[in-house]
Amino acid sequence: MSSPVPTYDLNNGVQMPALGFGVFQADPDQTLAAVGAALDVGYRHVDTAAGYGNERQVGEAVRRSGLDRSEVFLETKVWVSDYGFEETLHAFDKSAGKLGVEQIDLLILHQPAPREFDRTLEAYRALERLLADGRVRAIGVSNFMPDHLARLLEERTVVPAVNQVEVHPYFQQPDVLAANAAHGVLTQAWSPIGGITFYPGFGDQHRSTLSDPVIADIAREHDKTPAQVMLRWHLQHGRQVIPKSVTPSRIAENLDVVDFTLTDAQIQAIDALDTGVRGGPEPAEITSQSFGGVTIPEA
């Protein structure tokens, strides 16, 4: 079936679906079926990473879907253990081999690794080479804070097409969003519904964005779910989103967000929920060794 999802024009003219499908923490056995279900209901963008260990299953799901390769936008990430110029060129070979493709639509650096930023810069130089050679269609970064982005732009030539960062109603990173916008970098929201974490509430209670009363009230007004409201909130702010699920009904639900519009007041109410508390790891703390010295296997 065709996809109902609109597209964004990246800063190099490449078109990218506004809503994609994420496979973070989906184990390989689940990934094949989940990506297949996503493609079947109309997703046309899949976001994976070398560090997730499921690139091979993503590629297999695309092949089994019967869709032409040109219809599916594939994005993956280079892990910090593969930073460096030659290392990152080889990281492309590993990812492309597992995905079973000759060209990757979007290849990004998974972390800024600021304590080893010389290696980060060399890794990005390799992305620029891959872009110039036509082996990737667009390049970008992930988890880059404004100072990391500024350092990159001082040293490298190609402005990243995207910066994939944690953004959801409880953690909105306005300084990051502003820096991305100032440089023409599309913000891509991971954990767009705050699903990786729960936040302190009242007393011993913990609250999730999915049970937030403000979001729940808005969802009832539109006859939608809280997750759908949050995804719509991102889209109306001009962000690309990559919700993740392995449940077919939720996979379909997360795509069904283009037939309603939040009011300005509703958007402002969700904007006001920001806690400033990060749920994921602190980008400045991640190095090639701090996450267990992960070695990405060969294709």
Active-site annotation holds for 52: yes
Query: Residue 80 contacts by C-beta under 8 Å, 6 or more apart in sequence?
Result: 110, 111, 113, 116, 119, 120, 286, 287, 288, 291
The distance of Cα 187 from the centroid of its chain, to the nearest Å, equals 9
Q: Say how many Å lie between the first and final Cα of the chain, rounded.
A: 31
In SS3 terms, 47-88 reads as: ECCHHHCCHHHHHHHHHHHCCCHHHCEEEEEECHHHCCHHHH
Report how far residue 107's alpha carbon sits from residue 290's, in angstroms, rounded to the nearest whole number: 23
Q: Which of 43, 52, 83, 170 is catalytic?
A: 52
* Separation between Cα atoms, residue 182 and residue 185, nearest integer Å: 8
DSSP tag of 292: S
With residue 105 as reference, give the H or E element that holds it: strand 104-109
Q: What are phi and psi of 250, to 5 degrees?
A: -70, -35
Q: What positions carry a catalytic annotation?
A: 52
